[in-house]
Structure 1
């Protein structure tokens, strides 16, 4: 049963890593990897001197930090609310409802937001019908990044509660009873019982999230990039896409992708080391 999953990672993840060699070549598809000219670190030199790349990198970091601050705690908060529901029927119903957006493609999600907040959407229709000025939300670079976070929370917050709910079910109920007998209120029970019990899971997910810190949602951003322009909407993944598949600068795009992968690996390694120093297990020993 493990063979298909292992085969996927071996071929499309670890096998694909060998193709990073084109980051050090002037890769031409018609010549192939072996016959393309070796340029060494030239692609990286051009990359680090490209202001468009650093603009994309900054947008990536900014969006990722917003996701870390606002999206990462959201599934935990929702899981705590679901866990507090006493009726199993109600809990299962709410879980089913909040899980559903995860299975909707980003194409549909972006279309829904366009219909609601676009220039001819429902919101502007209501405003103009009441004699008010229309507002530009979808195409406004100033609200673009907060809008991305709202979309991610709406779509994936419910799905992110699964692991937290599993961790909450493992908390010993006798700990809550003992804390209540000692006079601890709901907030103190949460702070001194719930959080310490699920702390290893939270730290593990945080480390994994740091490994994905430069992956901020390729499809979501690609669909909305043109509406706000590359100044606000370009990230490293879309930069790689346009430079590689669109412009044909494969070696240059591979250098950008390799740089992103190295930074992500260093973040995971550093976060794991910090977790060990704090006495947590982390991802690996």
Structure 2
């Protein structure tokens, strides 16, 4: 089972798709999982089953929704240099999602902006409807996708830290960090996955992911440091039931500090999804 990224794809993929694809050379070594706590193993297995079911049902691309994204940029002293809020309408189309810009800083986009969005929409439809273009799009997406499977789990050591309340629902809290030694690197995102630690909150009733928080432990070099590096990244993803038994992402926040060539960027992005409506 694999999970392809979308504007609100869950788990760690959202962090790295959001702004920093890491380039490197693939390795061949894999790390076998260590013996695990049976209770933890059962929670993970049920989470895998739930994720596979949700993937087969295609819930992510069955719902239209509103999306608000606030982007703040900072200088070296931590002072805000730019603060912008964008509002989108996200529409499903043929198993993909299109985000149409509707407003900027509370003001609807003008006629020129609406024409630009219509042009983007037409180009998006052409790309999705053309088998070759869609295949190329999916190949590129694979560099940043998360396969929620035993290989992903095998990258980390995990510990069950009990049950805590989250928005009135009990959740299993699992902490994770990379296993020692050399970890497999086959795609861009693997460099960052292999250097991330955090927590996963799994709903005790449904075994859906309810929250993921993470941070980059070490600097990640872009193309062996020639292009630049990511020195800091932290993030948090929230997921909730939006219609009966259907859970989708409702909020994602990420801060990162990245240097590319001679330019340094410090940015915090908060994205929220709401007004979910079944499209099919």
Which of the five TM-score ranges fits, normalised by the shorter chain?
A: under 0.3
Pick 1 or 2: higher relative contact order, CA cutoff 8 A, min separation 6: 1
Bigger fraction of residues in helix = 1
Rg comparison, structure with higher value: 1
- Name the structure with the higher strand share: 2
TM-score for both structures, normalised by structure 1: 0.26
